[in-house]
Amino acid sequence: MAPAKSLAWLKDRSAGVLLHPTSLHGNQGIGVLGAEARQFVYFLKESGFKYWQVLPLGPTGFGDSPYSSFSAFAGNPYLIDLVPLLEYGLLKPEDLHVLQHLPHDHTDFGMLYRIKWPLLRLAHKRFVESGRAYLPNYGIFADFIKAESDWLEPYCAYMALKERFNGTFWGEWPPECRKYPAARKSKFWKETKQAREAHAFFQYLFFGQWQQLKAHANEFGIEIIGDTPIFVALDSADTWASPELFEMSKPAKPDFVAGVPPDYFSETGQLWGNPLYNWEAHKKDNFKWWVHRLEANFKVFDIVRLDHFRGFYDYWRIPARAEDARSGKWATGPKDALFKEVARKLPSAKLIAEDLGEIHDKIRNFRDRLGLPGMAILQFAFGGKSDNFNLPHNLIANSVVYPGTHDNNTSVGWYDEASPQERDHARRYLRVDGDDFAWDLIRECYQSISRLAIVPMQDIMSLGSSARMNSPGEEQGNWQWRMEENAFNETWQSSSTYLAGLADLYGR
């Protein structure tokens, strides 16, 4: 059993904003790690915030979800700011003219795929031709490759082979490429050398820019809260390079997959399809992979949110061939053993437990024993009984309170679509008329007992359902929302002083 409160860290009252970098404004078709991101840091500082929360930063594929990535360690090349590459001569102004075809108010991932990848490959080609060993403020390229080789080499090989085989799943590759050690000896290894080096260069650019942004934020007193999905995608470098760490008796064929059981929202449950961990294998080497994963996370984040925290206590184990989640059974997670090792290897780790959904007292006790703050969502509070865990009078100090998260509607959208019972309960509880509901919830978060209040940027901007980031269960139209520059600037001018006043008023 892990020492009581071994990972406790949230001592002071504070506030932050939830905004994924893809949602930043700008003219590159997607939010990037450049001037607009630094400008957002200034907004946070002036408004009295101390945290910027982001979603997972990994490279995304079909569906564009940051929670389904090709790697648990790599960064998303889409977030690379192309402007600095002009200064280094890796791109020319005329190369960027094609960006004008991309929309400003949302991300068109299909069009972005067709436009940005050729530009990144062109930048790599010119970097190689220039004979450079480094870019200013990015470090030496060879040093980066050496320092990150344990995950970078298999990731770059996976991406290069995936391109070679037309984007297909690694389980459909030629037999000699379905295992990483064998792929290194195959004829395709030499053939994909240039592509592997290109993907290493893209990671060099991403992490170089991210570290510059993080240093800028930290300099202004802003800490970054990151997000770690508990599961990885089957189509990922992680399962390809380390299949022994997952429940797969045959390569690329999981025996069981992840999901959640039937509940109020779904009669058949949710079949996520992610491969499950072989926790016995992880225990044998003292959770080396997980410790390394979190260690890598803490290089880029100050605090890490653990998605689906209950899965570390128990998880729904569904036969891989099942058509839905009803045939699953509960299985025991690593519980204290994993976090004991995390506390030993990463004693300064700051973690947030995403404990939403169907949670029982044993999981709450597990969370509290570790000292981790859990989460509360005000949109979940109304329309039921007074013992709802999300109602402000039931919150605890060691928690993080949100009006809603990326998986929720915006607060304006929620109120517009809520039932009459929910609206009435919310108005009576908050003692408001509902005419400015996003700000009603923001104020309630600030004055709550929860030590950390996180507010989605869409709520600060009082935006409706069209600004929703994700609608779980819907396959299309997610992850696309972006701020528009004029709307952001107007919000900054109209709300920054008021937000700073709220932080002062409620000791945040």
Annotated active-site positions, please?
A: 307, 354, 407
Q: Which residues pair with 69 in a beta bridge?
A: 60
What is the three-class DSSP state of 267?
Answer: coil
For residue 207, give Cα distances in angstroms to 49, 77, 366, 446: 24, 10, 34, 33
Q: Which residues pair with 224 in a beta bridge?
A: 52
For residue 455, give Cα distances in angstroms to 16, 105, 167, 294, 349: 6, 21, 37, 25, 23
CA 244/CA 433 separation, integer angstroms: 57
What is the three-class DSSP state of 467?
Answer: helix
CA 508/CA 494 separation, integer angstroms: 20
Helices vs. strands in the chain: H and E counts, helices first = 18, 14
Which residue from 48, 12, 95, 60 is spatially nearest to 460, judged by alpha carbons? 48
For residue 121, give Cα distances in angstroms to 144, 149, 234: 19, 21, 26
Rounded (10°) CA dihedral 118, 121, 126, 131: 180
As a whole number of Å, the end-to-end CA separation of the chain is: 34
* Residue 385: DSSP 8-state: -
CA 37/CA 23 separation, integer angstroms: 10
Residue 59 in contact with residue 156, Cβ under 8 Å? no
Which segments of 301-352 does DSSP mark as H helices, in order? 336-345
Which residue from 240, 265, 460, 228 is spatially nearest to 349, judged by alpha carbons? 228
CA 391/CA 405 separation, integer angstroms: 16
Classify strands 329-332 and 314-319 as parallel, antiparallel or unpaired.
antiparallel
